[in-house]
Amino acid sequence: MKKITVLLLILLCTSLSWSQKIDDVFKAMPFEIVPGLTSEDKEMIVVDKVEVSVPNQLGEIKKIEHTDTFVKLQTSKVGTTQIKLLSAEGSSDIVCVIKSICDDACDSNVRFFTTEWKELDKENLLPKVDINYFINVEGIKNSIETDIALPLYIPLQAMLNKDDNNLTIKIDIDKLFTASQIDKMKPYILNEELSLSWNGTSFN
């Protein structure tokens, strides 16, 4: 019985430490990560796990997801910010921040920081992913039948999972091309999403 009690206490303390950690990291977040949030706003957002909205000069900011290691904010009608605390082997934890703008299609920017908010080199933490993983660009360019002019820039969406340490990168093909174009492109669509897992040192 004593062993069970001790185990439960350890698990409880671990859970509480995770919760405190993500909340403390969020409260120490620099202004540039989510402009418009005051210290009081950040305190209000992480005071508990329920959805909460904070009005400010730049518009309402709404917390839509909050776990022991994850916070997701709706920062505008088209903008979201995801913040995930990742356990790192042999060092302090790493903070992953993804800002996305979802207008016609979603476009995301992924950045990494220490828990003291010093930015880390993304190249060491995330493999380079470009449009060629999703679409055979050269095949479309060289195809007479397809006759589709691809845009110079094709946005990609990145999404963190609140329940685990997976990262999904996807292309909104349905929003970028018409149904007729997609039908012609089918032989050249290689993948619509890529799932990456955090292994303690990087996503792969």
Q: pLDDT by residue (tens digit) across 190-204?
A: 999 999 999 999 999
CB atoms within 10 A of CB 91: 10
Within a domain: 109 = yes
Q: What percent of the chain has pLDDT over 90?
A: 77
Give the pLDDT score at 159: 98
- In the chain, the number of structural domains is 1
pLDDT digits 0-9 by tens, 129-165: 999 999 999 999 998 888 888 988 999 999 999 999 9
Within a domain: 204 = no
Within a domain: 143 = yes
Domain residue limits at 27? 2-197
Asked whether the whole model's pTM tops 0.85, one would answer yes
Give the pLDDT score at 15: 39
